[in-house]
Structure 1
Amino acid sequence: MITKTSFPKKLKLFPSFFYLSLILFYSHCALRPSGTLSQYDSYFPHESTISSIPKGKVRATFFGTASILLDDGETQILTDGFFSRPSLWKTAFSKIESDPSTVQSVIEKAKIDRLQAIFVCHSHYDHVMDSPLVAKQTKAKLFGSTSTLNVGIGAGLLPEQMQKFQPGKPITIGKFTITVLESKHTPPFRILGKTNATDPNHPNIESPLKTPVKATDYIEGGTFDFLIQHGKNKILIKSSTNFVEGAFDKIKVDVLFLGIAQLSLQPIPFQEQFYKQTVQTLKPKLLIPIHWDNFFKPLSEPLEPNLRLGDDFDANMKYILKRTEEEKVEVQLLQGFETIDLF
């Protein structure tokens, strides 16, 4: 029975309960994937390439974000190598560091046994955090900006196992020739009142970074693209959804690994220029979207699209597929650990 005294108390509690329920509901929606991969099933190769790599061919293996292993059967090179992938809650509310057992398990599962070099796109944690440990466990050389090298120093890498980028100067590793190109990070965004914009007063990691540290301690330190030539074929790996106007005017590639995170959240003129300055200029035969996945999920589980909290995978893909269909550019998606022979 509701008494005269209890009814007002319940009435007062209702707004608090309502707003709490509303917050929980929207939080649940925001933390759901921003797309459904089954809609793009035909774009996945669905092949497990376990055969040896034919002579002269290059095989790519995808590990989510911008972590890509290139292998010609003799030499392996890696971009980023972000394998630990700490959870959203740990990243937001705690300090993070590489997980040695996870890194080693990925190295073993992917048969990373001929790795010569690791090239880091920029020094945010989802690109650089595991790179020094991968270098240690494989004896590969770490290539990066001053910020990336400070992460390496903090992890105990020796100077001879690291090399600072020299944009525009080709580096030969086995039969691969890698040219580092200066680029731009995806435009800054704001989530829950916080932004990932670089502080102009502190654009770099200025001293050795010893982990565990907060995710925000991993400062961008410049963003880079990688032009990779193997024989007559060329690959471009672009991790971030941004461009330097005219940077690719004299470049044509066979394969383009293109970062598409937050593409559809940008103004329409930006989207059009991004596509023009990348796909239309480079004229790839094959485009492979990267940095589309929720990197708070472990690699032991299938990749899922970025969270609704900060992206729209479906809208990103619809834009890319519409434009590439018009220009007859093949598009393929890759799951975690999935491989594809590029040429």
Structure 2
Amino acid sequence: MKCLSAKSGLGVLLSAILVSTASLSIAQNSPAVGAQGKTEALWFGQAGFRIKSPQGKMILIDPWITGGPKTPSIYKNDLAAIGPIDVLLVTHAHVDHLGDAPAVAKMNNIKLYGPADMVTPLTTLGILPADLGYRFNKTGRVTPAPGIKVTAVQAEHSSLLVWKNPATDKMESHPAGEPMGFIIELENGFKIWHMGDTGLFSDMKFIGEHYKPDLVMVPIGGNFTMAPDDAAFALRTWIKPKMVIPMHYNSNPMTKGTLAEFQEAMKGSNIKIIPMTEGETVQF
């Protein structure tokens, strides 16, 4: 009996080890493993963000850095201070969004991903080497780095490339296609909707329901984009994300919308507002 009991106990122990080993193997093969780190967002001002993904990929969006009036001096005076970048996204050609993107692309030898008809004049005018431009359009999806998916979505705005021609020393204006926003899905499935510059449009409801963003980066400055009350209406009525970071305010005297006005318009909502100051980093 004792011998049988000992053998039975050994069998139970071996079974437990096998189960534990199998569980470990499943965990190691799970796509969630290695994707459990924090997501970080650094705000440079206006619509410029650097996002660090759970697996450490650095994603730069709309980098108006050296020209941004509210960019912290550590970055404004030394573009290299933003560090190595893996993914570069630009929503449209206005200077406060395109900004330093061509320089960043060349510094890091990476592609600039953006609206097709914005990337084309950048390359044909010689602003960006042709091999560093990547063209895509609304509902197009790209995988600019392993585990990172970016889908282009609608933005209700305009897009114009203003460029100083070195041959004539004169400023020129060039059509630059249509603006867009980005749904950025990180390795762990966390989704960020960077709206770019946009006014209200009813398909915000469709985008919210279809892509289900966890975090929305929303312009609130008014004049060129939604004002605080319109941004709040879109978020509360149509999109209903978990979190929101207000952006595109406080850098241009023509965009008078304020954080306080946005917070007031969002009262009663359970959407978490994450107010940021230029140069601040937050984690999710």
Same fold (TM over 0.5): yes
8 Å CA contact 2:121–2:174 kept in 1: the answer is no
List runs of 5+ in structure 2 lacking aligned partners: 1-33
Alpha-carbon separation, structure 2, partners of 1:177 and 1:257: 17
Quick one: percent identity of the two aligned structures? 19
- 1:68 matched to 2:49? The reply is yes
- Within the candidate set 285, 288, 313, 2:245 is matched to 288
Displacement of 1:266 after TM fit?
7.3
Equivalent residue, structure 1, for 2:222: 262
Alpha-carbon separation, structure 1, partners of 2:275 and 2:130: 37
Q: Does 1 or 2 have the higher relative contact order (CA < 8 Å, sep 6+)?
A: 1
Equivalent residue, structure 1, for 2:178: 222
Letter in 2 for 1:287: V
1:326 counterpart SS class: coil
8 Å CA contact 1:240–1:261 kept in 2: the answer is no
8 Å CA contact 1:103–1:134 kept in 2: the answer is no
8 Å CA contact 2:112–2:132 kept in 1: the answer is yes
- Within the candidate set 261, 264, 270, 1:328 is matched to 270
- 1:312 matched to 2:284? The reply is no
Equivalent residue, structure 2, for 1:96: none
- 1:233 matched to 2:205? The reply is no
Equivalent residue, structure 2, for 1:5: none
The aligned runs of 1:292-303 (5 Å cut-off) are 292-294=249-251
Alpha-carbon separation, structure 2, partners of 1:58 and 1:292: 23
Q: Taking structure 1 as reference, are residues 252 and 282 closer, same or farther at Cα in structure 2, changes over 3 Å only?
A: farther
Q: Taking structure 1 as reference, are residues 265 and 334 closer, same or farther at Cα in structure 2, changes over 3 Å only?
A: closer
8 Å CA contact 2:155–2:198 kept in 1: the answer is no
Letter in 2 for 1:260: I
Displacement of 1:163 after TM fit?
0.7
Displacement of 1:320 after TM fit?
2.0
Alpha-carbon separation, structure 2, partners of 1:133 and 1:171: 22
- 1:176 matched to 2:164? The reply is no
- 1:82 matched to 2:24? The reply is no
List runs of 5+ in structure 1 lacking aligned partners: 1-52, 88-100, 186-197, 295-305
Displacement of 1:156 after TM fit?
4.6
What is the number of residues matched between the two proteins? 238
Letter in 1 for 2:112: L
Letter in 1 for 2:216: L
Q: Taking structure 1 as reference, are residues 265 and 117 closer, same or farther at Cα in structure 2, changes over 3 Å only?
A: closer
- Within the candidate set 94, 108, 115, 1:124 is matched to 94
Q: Taking structure 1 as reference, are residues 62 and 219 closer, same or farther at Cα in structure 2, changes over 3 Å only?
A: farther
2:202 counterpart SS class: coil
Q: Taking structure 1 as reference, are residues 321 and 156 closer, same or farther at Cα in structure 2, changes over 3 Å only?
A: closer
8 Å CA contact 1:264–1:312 kept in 2: the answer is no
Alpha-carbon separation, structure 2, partners of 1:267 and 1:286: 18
Displacement of 1:133 after TM fit?
0.6
Alpha-carbon separation, structure 1, partners of 2:275 and 2:227: 25
- Max radius of gyration: which structure? 2
- 1:107 matched to 2:88? The reply is no
Alpha-carbon separation, structure 2, partners of 1:258 and 1:221: 21
- Within the candidate set 122, 129, 133, 1:162 is matched to 133
Alpha-carbon separation, structure 2, partners of 1:82 and 1:218: 19
**Could you report, residue by residue, the CA deviation over 1:225-255 in whole angstroms, capped at 9, with x for unpaired residues?**
1111122321111122413312442232211
Displacement of 1:287 after TM fit?
1.1
Letter in 1 for 2:250: D
Alpha-carbon separation, structure 2, partners of 1:159 and 1:236: 28
Alpha-carbon separation, structure 2, partners of 1:118 and 1:59: 16
Q: Taking structure 1 as reference, are residues 283 and 118 closer, same or farther at Cα in structure 2, changes over 3 Å only?
A: same
1:277 counterpart SS class: helix
Following superposition, which runs of at least 4 residues in structure 1 exceed 4 angstroms of deviation? Answer: 101-104, 203-206, 208-213, 263-268
8 Å CA contact 1:264–1:319 kept in 2: the answer is no
Letter in 2 for 1:239: G
Alpha-carbon separation, structure 1, partners of 2:217 and 2:104: 22
Alpha-carbon separation, structure 2, partners of 1:135 and 1:228: 19
Alpha-carbon separation, structure 1, partners of 2:226 and 2:43: 26
Q: Taking structure 1 as reference, are residues 137 and 182 closer, same or farther at Cα in structure 2, changes over 3 Å only?
A: same
Q: Taking structure 1 as reference, are residues 267 and 229 closer, same or farther at Cα in structure 2, changes over 3 Å only?
A: closer
8 Å CA contact 1:120–1:143 kept in 2: the answer is yes
